[in-house]
Amino acid sequence: MTRNSALANSLLDRAAANKVCKAFGIRLVTNPQVVQLAHNGGFDALFIDLEHSSLSLDDAGHHCAAALHIGITPFVRVPYQCGNGFVQRVLDGGAMGVVFPHIHTAEDAIAAVSISKYPQPNGPVTNGTRSMTGQLPLFGLRPTPVATIVSETNARGSSVILMMETASSIANVDAIAAVPGVDVLLIGSNDLSIELGVPGAFRSAAFQDALRRVSAACRAHGRIFGLAGIYGDAELHRWTLGELGARFILGQQDSGFLAAGAKACVAELDAALSS
């Protein structure tokens, strides 16, 4: 990335080209070499999970730094109601966007945008409250003019990804999607199905109707529709990516890859022994 170029954000770039941004989830592995494995596998982004894991801010920062170095876009999911100061540290540590869980209302969305963006009175989002510091990972730790940091980071280096995983988020989805500065409405499949009274029933009418509502709100307001929590179901993926137009998807998490790989390895060895 040259200093005259916009920050490279695979989510925004691929969605603009009507392509899917595929994210690799990290919730278990602390060694940043896992980022290289994700890149080698063809993933476009990272979904570093600080909500459902014991990963630290330092771990997230190492993963973000590795991702920025090799050109895979790092996003970090923060814990629910973690506070503005925690979000600030995640962004300063190199995240190019924050995943906010359990969004209920438009007010929640406004608050998420506010802490993610710098104040920019003449910019597209005017309610930013993020605090400024120097030597940011997004700019290679180089001294960078404040105006450049504000304009480039607000536009492409601080994506706001809101998780739709409650009954209230579905009820308020149109108002949430209308909030300026929101980039993605991301389905949290497990929590949403539980909230709707159909735990794990991703083919149920209630769950799929909720997805249709979120997709429609995204199309109406120019947001990116995303899916997380459904793995290894090609039929549902075809429906979500095709008919519903999802352009951001969490492909799987490191723990899931390890579990599936371990099971497949043992099955192959058992088959070899029995043949």
For 142-161, what is the mean pLDDT?
A: 95
Q: What is the arithmetic mean of pLDDT over 24-49?
A: 98
Structure tokens at 246: 């999802």
- Mean pLDDT, residues 182-209: 97
Instruction: Express as a percent the part of the chain with pLDDT over 70.
Output: 98
Give yes or no for residue 271 having a pLDDT over 70.
yes
Residue 3: its pLDDT value, please? 40
Closest to 165 measured CA to CA, from 247, 91, 250, 259: 250
pLDDT band at 2 (very low <50, low <70, confident <90, very high): very low
What is the pLDDT at residue 70? Answer: 96
- CA atoms in the 13 A half-sphere facing the CB of 161: 31
DSSP bridge pairs for 24: 46, 252
Residue 195 lies in a domain: yes
> Does residue 3 lie within any of the structural domains?
no
Domain count, the chain: 1
52 is annotated as an active-site residue: yes
**Contact of 170 with 197, CB cutoff 8 Å:** no
Residue among 39, 52, 63, 221 flagged as catalytic: 52
Buried b (16+ CB within 10 A) or exposed e, 114-128: bbbbbbbeebebeeb
Side chain identity at residue 236, one-letter code = L
- When pLDDT is averaged across residues 44-70 and rounded to a whole number, the result is 97
Instruction: State whether the Cα torsion 69-118-15-31 is positive or negative.
Output: positive
Residue 191 lies in a domain: yes
Instruction: Print the domain residue range for 103.
Output: 10-274
Mean pLDDT of 103-111: 98
In-domain check, residue 2? no
Smallest CA-to-CA distance from 161 within 253, 94, 75 is with 75
Mean pLDDT for all residues in the chain: 95
CATH number of domain containing 155: 3.20.20.60
What pLDDT does 122 receive? 83
